[in-house]
Chain A
Amino acid sequence: MSQAAVIPQNAPEVWKLPSRGIVGMACLILAEAAIFLIFVVAYVYYIGKSLSGPTPRDVLTLPIFATICLLSSSLTVHLAVSTLHGDKRRLCSLWLAATVLLGSIFLGSTALEWYHLIYHDGLSIRTNLFGSTYYSLVGLHASHVIVGLLMLTLALIFSLRGAVTTRHTERLQVLSLYWHFVDGIWVVVFLVVYVLGR
C-alpha cells in the first residue's frame, strides 16, 4: 500500500468543502457574465451611432408582461428546489411546470417582438447598427433562455416520471442557479436596451 503523507495530529479536524456542482456553476456564470458584458458594451457603445433608421425610440416598446413572467419564473424555480428539499415531489413538479410555462411565455413574446420588428418595422440584423447590436444582445439572451428551458423541461419530464428525489436537490439547485443568472441578465438587458437605449 503506498504510504501517503499522514500527519496524525491534524486528522480529527472536520474537513468540509463546498459542493462541486455549485462551484462549477458559479464559474460558468462568471464566464457567461463576461460574454454578456462584451455584448452589453458593444450595445452601449453603438447607441445613437446608426447611420440610418429605424431608431430604438421608433420601434421598441417595453416588454413589461414578458419581463414579469421571466422574473417570476425565478421565484417558481426557487420554490421547486425548496419543495424538493422538503420531499414534496408533486409540488416540485408543479413549480417546475410553472417555471417552464413562464419561460416559454417570455420566449414566445420575444419571438413575437422579433416578428413584429422584422416584418412591420423593417428592422433586421443587416439594417443598421441598432439592428446588429439589438439582435445580437437579445438573441444571445434568448439562446440562454432556450438552453435553460431545455434543461428545465428535461427536469420536469423526469420529475413527472417520479425519477427526481431529494437526492437530486443539489442538481436541481445548480440548474436553478443558472436560471437565476439568466433572469438577472435580463434585468441588465432590459435596462440597457429598453430604458437606457431609448
Chain B
Amino acid sequence: MATQTPVPAVLDQTTSTACRPMWLEVLHDWVTTVDHKKIGLMYIGYALLFLVVAGFEALLIRIQLAIPNNTFVSPQVFNRLFTMHGSTMIFFVAMPVLFGFGNYLIPLMIGARDMAFPRLNAFSFWVSAFGGLLLYFSYFGGSGLYGAGSAPDVGWWAYAPLTAKAFSPGHSTDYWTLAILLSGVGTIGTALNIVTTVICMRCPGMKLSRMPLLVWIYLVMSLMAFVTISPLTAAQIMLMLDRYLGSHLFDTQAGGSAVLWMHFFWIFGHPEVYILILPAFAFANEIIPVFSRKAIFGYPAMVAATVGIGFVSLSVWAHHMFTVGMGAGANTFFVFSSMTIAVPTGIKIFNWLATIWGGKIRFTTSMMFAIGFLFQFLIAGLTGIMLAVAPFDWQLGNSYFVVAHFHYVIVGGILFMLFSAFYYWYPKMTGRMLSEKLGKWHFWLFLIGFHLTFDIMHIPGILGMPRRIYTYEADRGWMIWNLLVSSGAMIQTVGVLLFVYNLVRSYFKGAVAGADPWDGWTLEWSTTSPPPSYNFAVIPSVGSRRPLWDLKHPEDPDNNYE
C-alpha cells in the first residue's frame, strides 16, 4: 500500500510504512484502485462472501429435505432458496472467483505490469459486485406474489412461461434479470480485458507457444465468454421487453415459444459449465507439474484440447433438452456432440496422469486437492456421458441423479481445484503460507463430506426422486439417503469453516512465504510475495515455457527441448 503514494524522486519509504494508514485511507485505496492484483483480491473476497451466503442457502435446502414431510421452511421460501442458491453460486461465486484468480495471475504470468485496460477492469468488478447486491436486495426490495417476500423463485434457468407477467407478478423476476444482466456486463468487460492483455501485453520472448497453460486456458475461456454470455444478455433483454413493454417473444398465448427460451438459455448454460471448469483445468496445469517436479506432459496437446473443448462445447447445449421432444435428428446430433467433448477432456486427464507418472510427488494440501479433483472430475465426466445418452436421460432427466452429476462437476471438480489454487497462490497473494495442518484437516473433512453427500445423492435420483421438490412422503424409501446426504453437507460445512479460519489466521500468523515457496517455474514466483504494485522492476524476457527453470538450471535450459 505504501508504494501507492506518489513519491517521484525519493526512494526512502520509512515514513509512509511506519505509520499505518487510517481505515478511511485504506478504503479509499481499495475503491479507487485500478491495480489488477487488488481487483483480483476484491473479486475473490466478494466471491467468498457470496459463497458463504449461497452455501448457507444450500444448508437450509438440505435441512428441509433431510426427513420426509418436513416443514422447516415454507414451499415458497424453498423455491426462492434453490433459485437464489443456483444463481448466486454460478454468477456471483464461481465466475468472480475464477476471474479473480485470472486477474491476479495473468499479468504476473505473462510478465506484464497490469491488465490492458485497468479502468475497465475496475468497472467490470464493480458492476458485477453491484449486480450481486441488487440480487440480494430483492429480499427486502420489491413485492412478490400476494405481496409476500420477493426474492426470485423461478429457478436459475427461469423457464418461460413461468417468467411471464401473469405467473410472476411484482418485480421478483426482474431483480433476477437485472442482476444477471449486470453480472453479464461485468463478465464481458473482464473477458475482453483478459483477451487483450494476453494478446497485447506479453513480455519479450513470451510467444503464444511459450505461454503458461493457465494463460492459454483463460484466453480460450474468455473467448468463449463472448459467444456465451452475450446470448444470455440478449435473452435477458428479450425477457425484459416481454415483462416491461409487453412484447410476446416468450408468450405462448400469442404464438411465442417457451422452447426458444430454453434454447437461448442453454446456449449460454452449457458452455458456461466449460467456462467454469476450464479455469479449474488451468489451475491443475500449473499446480500438478510443480508438485510432481516434472514439466507438463504434452503441452501442445493440452492447448489443442482446450481449444477443442471451446469449440465443441458450443454445440452441445440441447442435451439439457432431451425431454422436450426435439425429434430424432436433433437428439442424435446432440448425443454425439456431447460425447465428442469427452475426447479432449480425456486427453487432458491422461496428460495430467502422465505428468504425475514417475515424478517426485510432494503431497502438499494443494496437491492433495488436485489429486482429488482428478478422480472426482473423472467420475463426474462418466455420469455426464451416461446422461448424454438420450434414452438414459429420458429416464433420469430432472431427477436427483442430474443434481448429483452437476454438483460432482462443480464441487468435486471446480471447487476442489479452487481450494488447491488457494493453497498454492495464497503465499504469493499475502506473503504468508496457509497452515498445512489445518489444510490437511480441511481436505479430509471436505473429501469425506463431499463423497457422503454427492456419491449418495445419485441413489435417490435412480430411485425416482425428482429435483426441486419441496418434500416427499415417508413411504418412498428416500429418507435414509436424504438423511445421509444432508449429514454430508454438515461435514462439508465444517471443512469450509476450517478453511475460512485458516485464511484469516494465516494472514496474521502464517509462516513467511518468501518469493518462491514451492520452487515454481512461472514468472509470478520471480517477484516478491505479495508483488509490488508494478509487479516487475524490470520487464522480464523469457526463452522457454518455464523461465524460472532456465534461471535455476542454466546448464540445462528448457529451450533445448521445446
Given A28-B192, A42-B249, A129-B248: A34 and B226 interface contact (C-beta under 8 Å): yes
Distance of A185 from chain B, by nearest CB (Å)? 13
List CB contacts (< 8 Å) of B510-562 with chain A: 523, 526-528, 532, 536-544, 547-548, 550-551, 557, 559
Residues on A with C-beta less than 8 A from B260 are 42, 45
Q: Other CB < 8 Å A-B pairs besides A38-B238, A42-B260, 12 of them?
A: A2-B527, A2-B536, A4-B539, A9-B543, A27-B195, A28-B192, A37-B234, A38-B234, A42-B264, A49-B255, A129-B249, A132-B248
User: How many Å lie between the Cα of A10 and that of B550 in the bound state?
Assistant: 12
On A, residues with C-beta under 8 Å from B are 1-7, 9-11, 13, 15, 17-20, 23-24, 27-28, 30-39, 42, 45-46, 49-51, 125-126, 128-129, 131-133, 135-136, 140
Q: Residues of B contacting A15 with CB < 8 Å?
A: 204-205
What is the CA–CA distance of A113 and B540 in the complex, to the nearest angstrom?
58
Most chain B CB neighbours (cut-off 10 Å) among A15, A39, A132: A132
Shortest beta-carbon distance from A11 to chain B in Å:
5
- Known contacts A15-B205, A20-B117, A24-B117, A7 near B542 by CB under 8 Å: yes
Cβ–Cβ < 8 Å partners of B245 in chain A: 125-126
Q: How far is the CA of A104 from the CA of B116 in the complex (A)?
A: 33
| A134, B234: Cα distance in complex, Å | 15
Q: CB-CB < 8 A to A17: which residues of B?
A: 199-202
Pair A5/B264 contact, Cβ less than 8 Å: no
Cα distance, A32 to B226, chains bound together (Å): 8
Residues of A within 8 A of B538 (CB): 1-4, 6
Given A24-B192, A27-B192, A128-B254, also A135-B231 (CB < 8 A): no
Whether B536 pairs with A4 at a CB distance below 8 angstroms is yes
Within 8 Å of chain A (Cβ to Cβ): is B1?
no
Query: Are A45 and B257 within 8 A (Cβ)?
Result: yes
Given contacts A34-B226, A132-B241, contact A10 B542 (CB under 8 A): yes
Report B-chain residues with C-beta under 8 Å of the C-beta of A125.
241, 245-247
Q: Find the A residue at minimum CB distance from B229.
A: A31
Residues of B near A28 (CB, < 8 A) are: 188, 192
- The reply to whether B543 and A10 form a contact with Cβ atoms under 8 Å apart is yes
Give Cα A135–Cα B242 distance, bound, in whole angstroms. Answer: 12
A196–chain B nearest beta-carbon distance, Å: 18
Q: Please indicate the chain A residues that have their CB under 8 angstroms from the CB of B540 in the complex.
A: 4-6
Asked if B235 CB lies within 8 Å of chain A CBs, one says yes
From A9, A10, A34, A42, B238 is in contact (CB under 8 Å) with A42
The 8 sampled A-B contact pairs (Cβ below 8 Å) are A2-B526, A5-B550, A11-B541, A24-B196, A34-B226, A34-B234, A38-B264, A45-B260
CB neighbours of A126 from chain B (8 A): 245-248
Instruction: Name the residue of chain A whose CB is nearest to the CB of B552.
Output: A5
CA distance A11 to B539 in the complex (A): 11
Residue from the set B188, B230, B248, B260 with the largest chain A CB neighbour count within 10 Å: B248
Shortest Cβ distance from A132 into B: residue = B247
Are A20 and B536 CB-contacts (below 8 A) given A7-B543, A7-B557, A34-B234?
Answer: no
- List the B side residues contacting A2 at CB < 8 Å: 526-528, 532, 536-538
Q: Which of B188, B192, B193, B200 contacts A19 (CB 8 A)?
A: B200
B256–A129 CB distance below 8 A: yes
Complex CA–CA separation, A34 to B542 (angstroms): 36
Task: Please name all residues of chain A whose beta carbon is closer than 8 Å to the beta carbon of B526 when the two chains form the complex.
Answer: 2-5
Residue in B205, B223, B249, B532 whose beta carbon sits within 8 Å of that of A136 in the complex: B249
Q: Given contacts A34-B234, A129-B254, A129-B256, are A10 and B541 in contact (CB under 8 A)?
A: yes
Confirm or deny: B500 has a beta carbon within 8 angstroms of a beta carbon on chain A: no
B448 within 8 A of A: no
Q: How far is the CA of A5 from the CA of B537 in the complex (A)?
A: 11
In this assembly, does B54 line the interface, its C-beta being within 8 Å of a C-beta of chain A? no
User: Contacts of A129 on B, CB cut-off 8 Å?
Assistant: 248-249, 254-256
CB-defined contacts of B204 to chain A, threshold 8 Å: 10-11, 13, 15
Q: Are B247 and A136 in contact (CB-based, < 8 A)?
A: yes
Tell me if B88 counts as interface (CB < 8 A to partner A).
no
Q: Is the CB of A4 within 8 A of B238?
A: no
Knowing A13-B204, A45-B260, say if A31 contacts B192 (CB, 8 Å): yes
B49 → A minimal CB distance (Å):
28
Q: Is B233 an interface residue (CB 8 A)?
A: yes
Is B434 at the interface (CB under 8 A from chain A)? no
CB of A189 to closest CB in B, whole Å: 14
Q: B373 to nearest A CB, angstroms?
A: 29
Top 8 A-B pairs ranked by shortest CB distance?
A7-B543, A34-B230, A132-B247, A4-B540, A38-B234, A5-B547, A15-B204, A31-B226
Nearest chain B CB to A16 CB, angstrom units: 10
A17-B267 Cα distance, complex, nearest whole Å: 33
Contacts of B111 on A, CB cut-off 8 Å? Answer: 4-5
B227 contacts the other chain (CB 8 A): yes
In this assembly, does B191 line the interface, its C-beta being within 8 Å of a C-beta of chain A?
yes
Contact B247 A131 (CB under 8 A): yes
**Complex Cα gap A45–B528 (Å):** 56
Check A35/B527 contact, CB under 8 A, given A51-B255, A136-B241.
no
Asked if A5 meets B551 with Cβ closer than 8 Å, knowing A24-B117, A31-B226, the reply is yes
Q: Mark B207-243, 1 if CB is under 8 A from A, else 0.
A: 0000000000000000101111111011101100110
| Contact A51-B254, Cβ < 8 Å, known A10-B205, A31-B188, A38-B231 | yes
Minimum CB–CB distance from B248 to chain A (whole Å) comes to 5
Residues from chain B with Cβ under 8 Å of A11 in the complex: 204-205, 541
Bound together, the chains give a CA A49 to CA B540 distance in angstroms of 61
Question: What are the residues of chain B within 8 A of A37 when measuring CB–CB?
Answer: 231, 234
Docked complex Cα distance between A24 and B189 (Å): 10
A-side contacts of B205, CB under 8 Å: 7, 10-11, 13, 15
Q: In whole Å, how far is A89's beta carbon from the nearest beta carbon of chain B?
A: 27
- Distance between Cα atoms of A112 and B356 in the complex (Å): 68
> Which residue in chain A gives the minimum CB-CB distance to B197?
A20
Residue pair A27, B226 in contact (C-beta under 8 Å)? yes
Interface centre among B204, B242, B559 (most CB of A within 10 A): B204
CB distance from A88 to the nearest CB of B (A): 29
Q: Measured between alpha carbons, how far is A159 from B503 in the docked complex, in Å?
A: 54
Give the distance in Å from the alpha carbon of A133 to the alpha carbon of B532 in the complex.
52
Q: Which residues of A contact B188 (CB under 8 A)?
A: 28, 31
Q: How far is the CA of A13 from the CA of B309 in the complex (A)?
A: 34
Contact A20 B234, beta carbon cutoff 8 Å: no
Assess whether B200 is in contact with A18, with CB atoms less than 8 Å apart: yes
